[in-house]
Amino acid sequence: MRIMRKVYLILLLLCVTLSCYSQSRYISETTKKIVYSRDRGTCNCCGSSSNLEYDHIMPYSCGGSSEVSNIQLLCLPCNRSKSNSCTCKIHGRRVGINCCDNTTTKKSSSAAIQCTGTTKKGNRCKNKTTSSTGRCHLH
């Protein structure tokens, strides 16, 4: 009876460990090599080839996986400015999908995005737009 409990406990511990590993932020070396090659060793936002990081396109915190299709290369400044959103706040470029909006499909090109224009004070415009220019009616 004691041996069965120990075996059961070990199997339970193994299952918990494996399930946690499969749902982690960990990006395998194979995935990193594929992404690096696919993205040609440059940031998908600004084109920089220094201080590169592997970024979850759909944020991990929003359910994004660590599969090749959900990983991209971003330089450190672009990745840090993107944070848990879809947009690089430095360059005003969209570099992610879904962004914790509780949807499971990619946003269409007609979805409203933040205007890329600037206000008179030099701040980024907070209006949303569906224009192909990326600017709202004020810009």
Work out the pLDDT band at 11, boundaries 50, 70, 90.
confident
Work out the pLDDT band at 33, boundaries 50, 70, 90.
very high
Name the more confident of 35 and 107: 35
Q: What amino acid occupies position 122?
A: G
Nearest residue to 54 (alpha-carbon basis) of 37, 62, 63: 37
Name the more confident of 112 and 40: 40
Question: Over the stretch 87-114, which tens digit does the pLDDT of each residue have?
Answer: 888 888 888 876 665 443 333 344 667 7
What is the CATH number that goes with domain 24-101? 1.10.30
Bridge partners (DSSP) listed for residue 114: 128
pTM of this structure:
0.55
Tell me how far apart the alpha carbons of residues 59 and 78 are, in angstroms, rounded to a whole number: 14
Backbone phi, then psi, for 55, in 5-degree steps? -115, 140
Tell me how far apart the alpha carbons of residues 107 and 96 are, in angstroms, rounded to a whole number: 10
Q: What amino acid occupies position 18?
A: L
Question: Over the stretch 69-81, which tens digit does the pLDDT of each residue have?
Answer: 999 999 999 999 8
Q: What is the pLDDT of residue 139?
A: 63
Q: What is the pLDDT of residue 108?
A: 39
Average the pLDDT over 115-130 and give the result. 72
Q: What is the pLDDT of residue 15?
A: 65
Spell out the SS3 assignment of 50-99: CCEEEEECCCHHHCCCCCHHHEEEEEHHHHHHHCCCCEECCCCEECCCCC
Q: According to CATH, where is 1.10.30 located in the chain?
A: 24-101
